[in-house]
Amino acid sequence: MKSFVRRFPRMAIGSAIILAVIAMAATAPIFFPFSPWDMRGSPFEPPGSPDFLLGSDALGRDIAAGIAHGAWVSLMIGGISTMASLGIGVSLGALAGYVGGRVDDAVMRFAEFFQTIPSFLLAILLVAIFRPSIFSIIAAIALVSWPPVARVVRAEFLSLRKREFVQAAEVLGVSHMRVVWQTLLPNALPPVIVLGSLMVANAVLTESALSFLGLGDANWMSWGFLVGSGRSVIRIGWWISVLPGVAIFITVLGLNLLGEGLQTWLNPRLSKRDMP
Amino acid sequence: MAQSASVEAGYAMTKKLLGIDDLSIGLPVYADRPRAVSKVSFSLNEGEILCVVGESGSGKSMIANAIMGLLPRELPVLGGKIDLQGIDLLTQTPAQLRSLRGSRMGTVFQEPMAALNPLMRIGDQIAEVFYVHGLPGKPQQIIDLLRAVNLPDPEALIHVYPHMLSGGQRQRVVIAMAIALEPALLIADEPTTALDVTTQAQILNLIREIQRRRNSGVLFITHDFGVVREIADRVIVMKDGELVEHGTVSDVLKRPSHDYTKKLLAAVPKPNTGAPRPRSERTILKASHLRKTFWRGNKEVAALNDINLDLRKGETIGLVGESGSGKSTFARTIVNLIAPDSGEIRFEGTDLHSLSRKQWKPFRKRIQFLFQDPFESLDPRRSVGDIIAAGPMAHGASAAEARAVAKEKLRLVSLDPSALDRWPHEFSGGQRQRIGIARALAMNAELLIADEPVSALDVSVQAQILDLLEGLRDKLGLSMLFITHDMRVAAQICDRIAVMKLGQIVEEAPAREILSNPQHPYTKTLIASVPGLSGESANHRTVEAL
Amino acid sequence: MTESRLHAMPRLIGWRVLKMALMVLAIVVVNFLLIHAAPGDPASAIAGQSGQADAEFMRQLREQFGLDKPLPVQLWIYIERVLTFDLGVSHRLQRPVLTVILERLPATLLLTGSAFLIALSSGIALGVRAARKPGGIADTVIMGVSLFFYATPLFLVGIVLVLVFGVWLNWLPTFGMETVDVPLHGLARVLDVAWHAVLPVVTLAVFYSAVYVRLTRASMLEVSSYPFVKTARAKGATEHRVTWVHVLRNALLPVITLAGIQAGHLIGGSVLVETVFAWPGIGSLAFEALIARDYDLLLGIFLCTSVVVLVFNLLTDLLYLVFDPRVQAL
């Protein structure tokens, strides 16, 4: 353990941060057993005041409670949307890389399209038109973030198919499904894992940006919403925007450290254009 | 008067150019030995070609890097002295060393394909040598240099980018850069290893020609005793960072004193001189009118252009050719990794090309493939046992049965059955190639397609694997199609040899006939290009001819 | 450039333009699908759930989109409209969408363009510096700072800058693009706009600078290990020359590629930055349209910014074509 920390300090710090955020999300109902939307006292109390550890907002809501409860939304949306886009990306990438030819062309044109258009604007459009909800936010983030995964998996498959040990499986008469599941996917996995952790970071950022613009789910407290709601009163209570923003920063930093650590640990070669 | 002049000339001929004294180079702590190079001493005279021979990891390239002052930071010089024309190189400042590089010592590296900056024109890259040493470098000088390395149409070539040249042409450009400022010392680090054999012969000739013309000293690093025989005046042999033998080329080749040198020399493949094996009447594999074209950009390349071949039961045919001749494409069409455009491949009468994937399956057991690169051909994420068992399991064996088979086959290739539960990365190149053979034989194949199975191996390991294959072939009655670029290897193991060029088999005959009496002009060139095959040092031959 | 490449250029550019046209068409189709995939009647989707839409407006919309006709016909009507530069009317502003967008476009191009140039130049310079000695002090500091900004949400950077330089120090303007109360002309106006642009541009630039630093560093380190770099050293080239002539030129290729791809991201970032600084560009227009549920305007913005991004991509591709002699066809 100790030597692991010394060898992969980034991964250790990153994991510690993420575990702390998860712990915060899990314990939010214990430490703040009330809705983060509740008005708990006078507005604009600065951090450190007796009622509010991290201050209160313009309506007297507890910022600390908002941050703790908001952690849950950030992690959940980041996690689920990444899972979904990994699902889309891995299947399309595997299909393109294994079948090749026209299928490959079609999938790659499709991915290129999604990579070129201003994806954040598309996410805004999707959430706005389908009305803001946890579901529409997750779907929008998943829909705009799968192309790098598809590219990575396809590139891995293409290079693996030229590798002799994959050709060896073919020559032995191993079935398509077994080649894909036993030989190609396990060997293509390391860069996907690294990409996955970086994508969670990106998804957390995108979610917070959406709710900052007022496109959050009104039933859930989120960090981006807190930052956005404090923006107009920044001259009176800077902490309302800044502290939840710092929470986003720390989480994203942790995920990035984790991703970089995983990259040195698993040592895959990610092409630069595929970094999110 | 005349006498003293000749004495002076004689003195100039043998003037010491480079002296290496007690040189030691360190290795990082996690390496398998404490030093990359350990207390090595030798010297190089003007007008002399000194070959440094050794297998991979012997530290031979490190010496070249140390001379140039280009050792990576994790490999520090621990002690010793390098003296170039009276200059102690190890005490030079980086700036002083830099001004010596290119002017006093020119270098040619192994990888011609990557040795040139892809974004710079050829002319500019050569001009840079002059520029960085504060010289004008007139266009005419650059054209003359390109002409000196026998490149065609130098006036046009200076405007061309590297990707438009072949490997051999790029190596000529690198040599032109190395000799641009007429350095006294030319360091050549495996300059022909990545090249085809005919190109290799041309580059070796070129280096020798330039060395003669300018009376420069050449430090030539190689793993190939054939090349040594072609080019060296003197030889040093390296093993695990130590100098084990030192002498003139004829002494070292004919009367090696160290056991390691003897072993290396014995491992150099030699034509089989035993009685020829009788040829069976039964054809096992017959290819007729096989064609395959690829699209390279918008150019059509015929990889297979009407290939016909008849392989008899128990026979080994060597398919020899240079890169791009189509020999690997042919190997892969036989096992359906590549589908041919037209033609037939009949295995015991069945046309394999027309079979569906399902119909193919029974033939997978009977026809197997041996790959080139022992570090590429085994799945790094599966245990050795799983790798060998994959074949039997794909054909319906239970896990226990497949494991028993794997165990048996490991013994067959002289590996300990404990290897079953270990991982590919725990084994050396030669051991991994044995695992590859065990995998290919796990379903009792009758026909083995071996695609350059020994070309990624060091010469001593290569000899062991060739022996193993030969033994297995005789024991199991295997028929073999043996693809190689190395005529010497083919001559050792094959009954017949087919020579491929540009997608065609230009000549096919029993091995010894091909060697002693080649018919096709290309075969003649190919055999003449094989380094050291004549048995006499070419250097000495030319001297005698003069 | 060799003769054959020179001859091939018009054909290559032709292909790129054709591909771009197809992409624009695809975006139009996506827009159409979005309108129809929205819950409820497309007209009400466009008019928004604002409740402001009166019956007359809804009737106009239905007619405009041909909603009583079959779907393929509707698609054709929609494409025809877009091809004749009719992007509809913003119901909030009661003005043609295209006119509104073209009015706001220059401000966004100024913001994203300057941020892009600053991010690219500083990113490359710092990345080269960091790669000079991996693990050294400069490298550690540069990579630490870049990781810091890489992980900070754009809007947080903006808000903190507003707080520090606008509210606490009161050094820089934090609102709008120019001083409105005193009309300025000529150079004074240019300086005024530049002064207003400092904080928004810096906000947008720091994140992308961090991206380019990381990319340049990784690319420099990779190219440094290529054999031709050793050839250059063996020639006697100085380290300075090796870095700037041999390594950097090759290391820049992936940076150009990524810069082209990320043009779209830059537009997305400008939505956040313009919102924070009330910069009167497309981004804040998008925010206004969002608040007012002015979806026709939002769709128009998506289409127009996509076209801008595609044009930018075309330019980077051409740059690549000039830069890399190996590229024969794209």
What confidence tens digit (pLDDT) does each residue in B327-386 have? 999 999 999 998 899 999 999 989 988 888 889 999 999 999 999 888 889 998 899 999
Q: Do B119 and C232 touch (CB under 8 A)?
A: no
Q: What is the mean pLDDT of chain B?
A: 87
Answer yes or no: are the C-beta atoms of A157 and A97 closer than 8 Å. Answer: yes
Chain centroid to CA C173: 24
- pLDDT tens profile B235-282: 999 998 899 999 999 889 889 999 999 988 888 888 887 778 888 889
Q: Do C151 and A273 touch (CB under 8 A)?
A: no
Residues of C with CB below 8 A from A117's CB?
Answer: 27, 30, 264, 302, 306, 309
The residue behind tokens 């392989």 is B311
Q: Do B102 and C230 touch (CB under 8 A)?
A: no
Answer yes or no: are the C-beta atoms of B349 and B527 closer than 8 Å. Answer: no
The answer, for A128 touching chain C at a CB cutoff of 8 Å, is: yes
Q: Which residue of B has its CA nearest to C240?
A: B132
Spatial strand order of the sheet with B185-189 comes to B105-108, B185-189, B217-222, B49-53, B234-239, B242-248
Instruction: Provide the ipTM.
Output: 0.84
Distance CA B304, CA B291 (A): 5
Model pLDDT, residue A43? 78
Classify burial at B86, counting beta carbons within 10 Å of its beta carbon; exposed 0-12, middle 13-18, buried 19 or more.
exposed
CB pairs under 8 A between A and C: 144
Residues of C with CB below 8 A from B102's CB?
Answer: 234-237
Binding partners of A (≥3 Cβ pairs within 8 A): B, C
The answer, for A44 touching chain C at a CB cutoff of 8 Å, is: no
Distance CA A146, CA A86 (A): 6
> Tokens at residue B288, please?
């007729």
**Dmax over Cα atoms in chain B, in whole Å?**
91
Indicate the DSSP class of residue C246.
Answer: I
H or E element in which residue B38 lies: strand B35-45
Task: Convert A201-223 to b/e letters by CB count within 10 Å (16 or more is b).
Answer: bbbbbbbbbbbbbbbbbeebbbb
Any idea how long chain A is? 276
**Average pLDDT score over residue span B195-223:** 89
Distance CA B59, CA B78 (A): 14
Model pLDDT, residue B534? 55
Report the gap between the CA of C136 and the closest CA in chain B (Å): 14
Low-confidence residues of chain A, pLDDT below 70? 1-4, 267-276
How many CB atoms are closer than 10 A to CB C221? 15
The answer, for C132 touching chain B at a CB cutoff of 8 Å, is: no
Q: Do B377 and A171 touch (CB under 8 A)?
A: no
Q: Do A187 and B372 touch (CB under 8 A)?
A: no
- Of the candidates B345, B351, B374, which has an alpha carbon nearest to the alpha carbon of residue B451? B374
Residues 3-42 of A with CB under 8 A from C: none
Chain centroid to CA B363: 33
Answer yes or no: are the C-beta atoms of C30 and C294 closer than 8 Å. Answer: no
Model pLDDT, residue B324? 82
Answer yes or no: are the C-beta atoms of B104 and B183 closer than 8 Å. Answer: yes
Lowest mean pLDDT of B15-19, B146-150, C87-91, C107-111, name the range.
C87-91
Residue percentage of chain B with pLDDT more than 70: 95
Q: Do B439 and A178 touch (CB under 8 A)?
A: no
Pairing label, strands B342-347, B283-296: antiparallel
B258 three-state secondary structure: coil
Distance CA B361, CA A206 (A): 50
Model pLDDT, residue B10? 43
Report the gap between the CA of B184 and the closest CA in chain C (Å): 14
Answer yes or no: are the C-beta atoms of C52 and C59 closer than 8 Å. Answer: no
**Average pLDDT score over residue span B524-540:** 68
Model pLDDT, residue A19? 92
Lowest mean pLDDT of B43-57, B136-150, B247-261, C46-60, name the range.
C46-60
Residue percentage of chain A with pLDDT more than 70: 95
Residues of A with CB below 8 A from C301's CB?
Answer: 121
How many CB atoms are closer than 10 A to CB B12? 11
Q: How confident is the model at residue B13 (pLDDT cuts 50, 70, 90)?
A: low
How many CB atoms are closer than 10 A to CB B264? 24
Q: Do A209 and C39 touch (CB under 8 A)?
A: no
Where does A146-219 have alpha helices with state H? Answer: 147-162, 164-172, 176-178, 185-212
Answer yes or no: are the C-beta atoms of C293 and A145 closer than 8 Å. Answer: no
Residues of A with CB below 8 A from C298's CB?
Answer: 124-125, 128
Model pLDDT, residue B544? 31
Answer yes or no: are the C-beta atoms of B67 and B147 closer than 8 Å. Answer: no
Q: Does pLDDT of B12 surpass 50?
A: no
Q: Does pLDDT of B185 surpass 90?
A: yes
Distances (CA, A) of B214 to B47, B207, B332: 8, 11, 47
> Tokens at residue B441, please?
């034989």
Answer yes or no: are the C-beta atoms of C119 and C212 closer than 8 Å. Answer: yes
- pLDDT tens profile B414-426: 999 998 999 888 8
Residues of C with CB below 8 A from A231's CB?
Answer: 155, 159, 276
Model pLDDT, residue C65? 67
**pLDDT averaged over 10-residue windows placed end to end, chain C, 330 residues:** 60 82 89 78 60 66 71 82 81 83 91 92 93 88 91 89 85 78 78 86 92 90 90 92 91 85 83 89 88 83 89 83 67
Q: Does pLDDT of B7 surpass 90?
A: no
Q: How confident is the model at residue B75 (pLDDT cuts 50, 70, 90)?
A: confident
Q: Does pLDDT of B4 surpass 60?
A: no
DSSP string, B417-468: GGGGGS-GGGS-HHHHHHHHHHHHHTT--SEEEEESTTTTS-HHHHHHHHHH
Query: Which long-range contacts (C-beta less than 8 Å, at least 24 apart) are formed by B76-79?
Result: B76/B25, B76/B26, B77/B23, B77/B24, B77/B25, B77/B26, B78/B24, B78/B25, B78/B26, B78/B35, B79/B22, B79/B23, B79/B24
Model pLDDT, residue B542? 35
Q: Which amino acid is at B295?
A: W
> If you count DSSP H runs as helices and E runs as strands, how many of each does chain B have, helices first?
21, 20
**Average pLDDT score over residue span B41-46:** 92
Q: Do C241 and B132 touch (CB under 8 A)?
A: yes
Model pLDDT, residue B297? 65
Residues of B with CB under 8 A from a CB of A: 332, 335, 337, 360-361, 364-365, 368-369, 371-373, 376-382, 390-391, 394-395, 436, 439, 443
